[in-house]
Each structure stands twice: as structure tokens, then as C-alpha cells.
Amino acid sequence: MKNAVIYARVSSKGQEKEGFSIPAQIELLENYASKNSFNIIKKFTESETAKKAGRKAFNEMLAYIKEKNINIILVEKTDRLYRNFKDYILLEDIKGLEIHLVKEGTILSENSKSHEKLIHGFKVLIAKNYIDNLREEINKGREEKIKQGGYPHKAPVGYKNVRINSKAEIVIDEEKAVFVKRLFELYASGFSAKEAQRKLIDEGLYSNEKVYAKSAILKILHDPFYIGKMEIKGVIYDGKHEPLISIDLYNKVQKMFNQSKARTHDVQFDYTGLIKCGHCGCQLTAELKKGRYIYYHCTGKRGGNCKKDYIRQEDIEKVFAALIDKIAHSIPDDLFEEIKQVIKDMQRTKADYEEVTQESILKQINTLKKRIDSLYADKLDGIITQEFWEEKHNKWQQEKDLLYTKLQSISKTSDRFYEGSNLLLKFVKDAPQLYSRSCPDKKRAILNLIGSNFVYKDKKLSVELSSVFNYLINNPFLKNGGTQRAKLELFVSNLQKLFTNEFMFDLEKAA
């Protein structure tokens, strides 16, 4: 008798009350185990969202099966186990593992056919896209509120959040508004932020308040909220709240900021804010030497001798240029067209799968429509009570809405992988030219796209590559220049598991 573990999950309180409940899942999986002579060693359950990798019970299960050398996981279906590629990759890396997706009648293992793995990968992609779609809808509602002048955050100093006729509003906080107005007046008259802070203390405008730090003072002086505007992610919108100061006063303060920050030279530092010190973790800052040489060093804010460890901008440039050149040569020229053709073929397979899935969802929607119509007729005839009708109607309506959302999500993912993969290939091929002709901001965007955790320590600069580019550079198939169709399909399939919609959006911005 083989040992196995059970994993059951619900992603919302609502699912706990429906057929997705954990007890219902466990009952299904226990019956399956009994029929197939599996010995259930342990059950892992959790009731939380799976939008991000790192779920507690999921991680405990991974550690447990590795420690006990258990090779079988029983789970209800794909979206109960994972909804992101990170979880997918973690499981696939475990040697000899079998995943039994009981409701789907599928068993996945390292010996599964490539077609089965591909279809399974698409299911994960669709589940992931469903989460993305929900996030998009939430963001749309937030954006609409912003466009109408509503502020989505806590009101800044000088204002307060209140409810008027059960509606959230932002009004002037008369007590703190005096402090804000006086702060702007002092700075506009020539006081520095620190001098204005001391003056406000002397004038007693900090009564019943802790003293604001200099950074908080500067944030207030920069905020266009006080002239009736709202800055959301770098975009300025008109707010519906009452302005606290005049536009002239605000503009005068901003002009004084610009004058105080004016540089004595016009040199741009390409890599400020990107690299950290490997000794203390502070950011590296840059300075100009002899009017022509740019050096980077630790700010030294946490003490120690880190500040003495200098590196020239030219040396940083060489490291990054070599890395990008390596990425550009990760795929030999003669393989580009072959890989594109394989991606196109896989897209056709995906389209066929989506067509079947859409037909299945439409059948379920039609079934629910008939149930709802029949239920309404029973209510009119007095066969069922109003309470029973409301309960069932709401339940089936929610199921129908969810199916419609899934249907829309499938449609939206139709061409994303094909388009995104080609965009990735184009980016890889053109990376050196794109990087060399980019402005500092664009260079940092490209570097943040291909990696993270840029660290300088003891004369060495290290970079942690993102999973996609690490895979491209280190894939043995590409290194050996293999051209067999099966190997190509495996490469593209593995690339797909690392390739997410968010990553493609970032590529579009960088390219």
C-alpha cells in the first residue's frame, strides 16, 4: 500500500459553505484513496487566498513529503492546489512526485506525456489569469472613484475622513489645517524645512501632536492635495475636496524646492537607487570627481567603513553590458525561427483546448439559467417560499456570474502567451542595442526587468537574475544548440511556466 497526503483548500468564506468545502474535498479524496489502496499519512488544509505563493499549509506539505519521502499528493482539482507558476515549479522540481487531480481524472508525474503536461500548464495559466482578471476589475472600480474625485487613501494632515449620509467624504480638519497653512507660509518666506519645524514648535502649533519628522514636513510641502488635486502613482487628478491653500502659494513653494535642489553640474548618474552595499545594505550613492569621473560608494548611514569602497561608473557599465550581451547570445540565431514555429503550434493546441473549455462553461451557464427560470416559476406558483427562492437564486446567480467571468478570462488569454513569447524573444535579441541607447531611467527599468538584488561588495558586483533570464542563460539545451522537435517543445513548455502576464506587461514598458 502506497503512502499519500491529502491537500484541501478553499479560497474564500463563501466557498466553505458551498460544494467546495474542505470536508467535501476530504471525503472525495478519502474515497479515492480507499479505492486505489492509498494509505493517507497526513491531511493538509487551509482556508485562505492563493493569489500569492507561500501559503502556510502548502509549504508545510512540501517540507513534509520531502522529509518523509512521500511521492503522492491527492487533491480535488488544479485550482485547489495552485493558482500561480511559483507553486507549479516548486512541485515539478520534486523527483518522483505524483499529483492525482481526482475530479479531473488526471495523474501528473515526471513520466506523464508532454501533451498532458502542456494541457495542465494551460489550466494553471487560465487559473492565474482569473486572479489577474479579478484584480483588474477591482482596480477599475478604484480608478473610477479616482476619476470622480474620490481619494482612495487616508486623508493627509489637515484633513480628516468622515461619513456624511453613509458616504465616505474628506473634509478640512480645522485644528490641523492651521498648522499646514502656516508651514507653507513659512517655507515660502525663506525658512528651511528644519527652521519651519522649530518655528511651528515655538508658535505652539504642535499642541497635542508629536513633532513631525523632516521627511513628513517635506511630504506635506510637496503634496498637491492641499490645492484640491490628488497625486496617484505619479498622475495628478482633480479632487472633490476643498483646497487648503492657494495655487500661487503652492507654486511658490515648489519653485523654491527646485532652486534649492539645483545642481552645480548637469551630469546624470545612471545607477543611483539601484545597487545596495553588500556590507550594510544601504544604497550606493554617486558623486563627481575632478569634473569628469563618476564614483559610486555606500552612503555609510549605518556606520562602518563601507563608504571607502568605491567603484567607477564605467566598471559598473561593463558588468551590466556583459550580462545583457550574454542574454542576447543565450539563444543561437539558427534556433530563433524554430522556437517561434513551436510557439505558434503550441498556440493552436491551446486554442483547441480553450474552445472545448468554453463549450463546457456555456453548457453549465445554460443549465444554471434553466434552474433559475424554473425556480422563479415555482415561487410564482407558491411551491417554494420567498426565503428559499432568495437563497437558491443568489447561489446560482453567483455561480453563473463566476462562470461568465471565467469565460471572459479565457478569451482574454487567447493570444497572450504567443504574443508575449515573441516579445520576449525580440527583447532578448535586441537587448544590447536597446540598453546602449537608453536614457538612465530606461537602463534602470531594463536592469530591474532582468534581475534584482544588485549588490556591490569587496570590489565585486553581483546580480540575481529573474527566473526567465536565468533559465535562458543556463538552459543546457540552448547551450548545446539542440534542434530536435521534442527538445524544442520541452524548452518552450518550461519557458511558459516561468512566463507570466505581469512579466509581459513589464517587457512592453521596457521595450
State whether 172 and 229 are in the same domain.
yes
- SS3 for 293-353, per residue? EEEEEECCCCCCCHHHCCEEHHHHHHHHHHHHHHHHCCCCHHHHHHHHHHHHHHHHHHHHH
What pLDDT shows up at residue 17?
45
Of 91, 68, 79, which is closest to residue 4 (Cα–Cα)? Answer: 68
Q: Are residues 344 and 463 in the same domain?
A: yes
- What band does 210 get if pLDDT is binned at 50, 70 and 90? low
pLDDT top residue among 415 and 386: 386
pLDDT digits (tens, 9 = 90+) for 296-311: 988 777 766 776 778 8
- Write down the pLDDT at residue 43: 95
In a domain, 285, yes or no: no
pLDDT at 240 over 50: yes
pLDDT at 209 over 80: no
Q: 120 lies in a domain?
A: no
C-alpha dist (Å) from residue 247 to 184, 224, 257: 11, 9, 15
Same domain, 338 and 452: yes
- Same domain, yes or no, for 375 and 459? yes
- In a domain, residue 287? The reply is no
Is residue 33 over pLDDT 70?
Answer: yes
- Look at residue 498 in the predicted model and tell me its pLDDT: 52
Report the range out of 276-280, 302-306, 479-483 with the highest average pLDDT: 276-280
CB 236 within 8 A of CB 230: yes
Q: What CATH number should be reported for the domain holding residue 220?
A: 3.90.1750.20
State what percent of residues in the chain have pLDDT above 90: 14
Instruction: Count the Cβ atoms, other than its own, within 10 Å of residue 316.
Output: 21
Residues 46 and 175 in one domain: no
Question: What is the predicted pLDDT for the residue at 78?
Answer: 79
Domain-embedded: residue 376: yes
Task: Look at residue 7 in the predicted model and tell me its pLDDT.
Answer: 93
380/485 same-domain check = yes
Looking at the structure, tell me whether residues 205 and 108 fall in a common domain.
Answer: no
Q: Per the domain annotation, does 42 fall within a domain?
A: yes
Distance of CA 260 to the CA centre of its chain: 37
Q: In terms of domains, do 386 and 477 share one?
A: yes
Least confident of 7-21, 155-169, 176-190: 7-21
Pairing of strands 235-238, 276-277: unpaired
Q: Binning pLDDT at 50, 70 and 90, where does residue 398 land?
A: confident
Residue 67 included in any domain: yes
Q: Does 499 share its domain with 400?
A: yes
Domain containing 66 equals 2-112
Domain check: are 353 and 248 in the same one?
Answer: no
- pTM, two decimal places: 0.39
* Nearest CA-CA partner of 468 in 425, 414, 412, 438: 425
Please check whether residue 227 lies inside any domain of the structure: yes
Is it the case that residue 72 has pLDDT exceeding 90?
yes
Q: What average pLDDT does range 55-66 have in this prediction? A: 88
- The reply to whether 307 falls in a domain is no
Band of residue 258 on the pLDDT scale cut at 50, 70, 90: low
Output the pLDDT for position 16. Answer: 46
- Range 344-352 average pLDDT: 67
Residues 106 and 163 occupy one common structural domain: no
Residue 267 has pLDDT above 60, yes or no: no
Examine the domain organization and report whether 360 and 448 are in the same domain: yes
- Range 29-52 burial, b when 16+ CB lie within 10 A, else e: beebbeeeebebeebbebeeebee
32-46, 219-233, 490-504: the lowest-pLDDT one: 490-504
Helix, strand or coil, per DSSP, at residue 186: helix
As a whole number, the mean pLDDT across the chain is: 77
The pLDDT value recorded for residue 126 is 67
Which of residues 229, 261, 293 is at a domain's end?
A: 261
Number of domains in the chain: 3
**211 or 506: which leads in pLDDT:** 211
pLDDT of amino acid 132: 64
**Residue at a domain's end among 112, 147, 182:** 112
Q: Which of 218, 246, 261 is the last residue of a domain?
A: 261
Between residues 143 and 163, the one the model is more confident about: 163
pLDDT of 275 higher than 80: yes
